[in-house]
C-alpha cells in the first residue's frame, strides 16, 4: 500500500545584475526527474508540485534563460522531508 503526502509549492525568483525582469521557465527536478514547471512573470514564479511520496526528496530548479538572461541551476538542492 502506498501513502502520499499533501502537495506543496516551490517559489523561485530570477534576479539579474541589470534589474531587467527575467522571462522563461523554471523546471523543478526531484532526484534528476522533472516533476513540475512554471513560467516566470516579472522574474518570479510559484509552482505547484505534485504529491510527493513519503521520504526525503532532493529538489533542484533549472532556469531556461531568455534573450537577456543566461540559463542557470540552483546552488545546492532544497531538501523536503514528507511525513505521514
68-78: pLDDT as tens digits = 889 998 876 77
Question: Which grid coordinates belong to 18?
Answer: 541589470
What is the value of pTM for the model shown?
0.80
User: Rounded to the nearest 5 degrees, what angle is found at the Cα of 53, between the Cα atoms of 2 and 46?
Assistant: 145
Q: List beta partners, residue 12.
A: 45
33-80: pLDDT as tens digits = 999 999 999 999 999 888 888 888 888 899 999 998 899 988 767 766
CATH class, 9-82 region: mainly beta
Amino acid at each position: 500500500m502506498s501513502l502520499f503526502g499533501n502537495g506543496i509549492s516551490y517559489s523561485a525568483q530570477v534576479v539579474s545584475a541589470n534589474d531587467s525582469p527575467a522571462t522563461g521557465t523554471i523546471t523543478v527536478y526531484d532526484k534528476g526527474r522533472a516533476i513540475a514547471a512554471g513560467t516566470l512573470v516579472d522574474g518570479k514564479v510559484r509552482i505547484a508540485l505534485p504529491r510527493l511520496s513519503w521520504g526525503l526528496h532532493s529538489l533542484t530548479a533549472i532556469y531556461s534563460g531568455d534573450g537577456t538572461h543566461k540559463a542557470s541551476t540552483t546552488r545546492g538542492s532544497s531538501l523536503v522531508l514528507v511525513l505521514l
